[in-house]
Amino acid sequence: MITVYGMRASGNCYKLQLLLDQLGRACRWVDVDSVHGETRTPAYLAKNPNGKVPLLELEDGRRLAESNAILCYLAEGTSLWPDDAWLHAQTLQWLFFEQYSHEPYIAVARFIKLFLPADHPRQAELPSLYQRGAQALAVMEQHLADRNWFVGERYGIADIALYAYTHCAADGGFELQSFPHLRRWLARVQAQPGHTPMQC
């Protein structure tokens, strides 16, 4: 059985939980608390030198890091990662968008609000994070104005990756009221067969 090293409250880790549940695929889940230093221990760094969760470990011991690379690997050959060069390319475009233009603002604001004390110096980052995160949400809103899913005609791993931190953006202080297409897309994702909520 595959093993996932992850933290339940992390959106990057939740992506894998959601995909595996929807594929009906079991995994051994090993909790690693990145907020309290468990990704920086020598034992964990030996598994992932970049010191992050999630991490996938196969039955034969091979390991793969980076949530969106793991999504692609696990979804290969399923309807969630369509075997078509252009659909693949567009999916990758949105996965890189998520990691570069979305997660560093929306997930980081959530981290600061949920896990750091109210007088922590990093609270000063919030105004800039709100500005950049709102730009990412606006790009998504525009894309969803005339389509149901991020890529092609069906739900796939681009939706899973973007859903992970968008659905809990309010935790970080983002307001989704002015993004009606985005809110309808969140509801469509939640209505997918096998959808499971984030456990945190």
Coil vs helix vs strand at 167: coil
Burial of 65 (0-12, 13-18, 19+ CB in 10 A): middle
The answer to the question of residue 99 lying near its own copies (CB under 8 A) is: yes
The strand pairing partners of 98, in sequence order, are none
Tell me, residue by residue from 130 to 169, as one string, x for binding to its own copies by CB under 8 A and - for no binding: ---------x--xx--------------------------
The answer to the question of residue 104 lying near its own copies (CB under 8 A) is: yes
Q: Which is nearer to its own copies, 128 or 196 (CB)?
A: 128
Q: Which is nearer to its own copies, 8 or 122 (CB)?
A: 122
* CA neighbor of 108 nearest in space, from 91, 93, 128, 94: 128
Count of residues of this chain found to bind its own copies when the rule CB under 8 A is applied: 32
The strand pairing partners of 65, in sequence order, are 55
Stretch that binds its own copies, among 3-11, 14-22, 86-94, 165-173 (CB under 8 A): 86-94
Token representation of residue 137: 């949400």
Which residues within the stretch 1-30 sit at the binding site for its own copies (CB under 8 A)?
Answer: none
Token representation of residue 132: 């950049």
* Residue 51: CB minimum distance to its own copies, A: 8
Q: Which is nearer to its own copies, 64 or 192 (CB)?
A: 64
Task: Kindly tell me which residue out of 24, 49, 61, 127 binds its own copies, with binding defined by CB under 8 A.
Answer: 49
Query: C-alpha 113: how far from its chain's center?
Result: 18
The answer to the question of residue 68 lying near its own copies (CB under 8 A) is: yes
- What is the DSSP secondary-structure string of 112-153? HHHHS-TT-GGGGGHHHHHHHHHHHHHHHHHHGGG-SSSSTT
Coil vs helix vs strand at 187: helix
The answer to the question of residue 85 lying near its own copies (CB under 8 A) is: yes
Binding site for its own copies (CB under 8 A): 49-50, 52, 62, 64-70, 72-73, 76, 85-86, 88-90, 92-93, 95-97, 99-101, 103-104, 139, 142-143
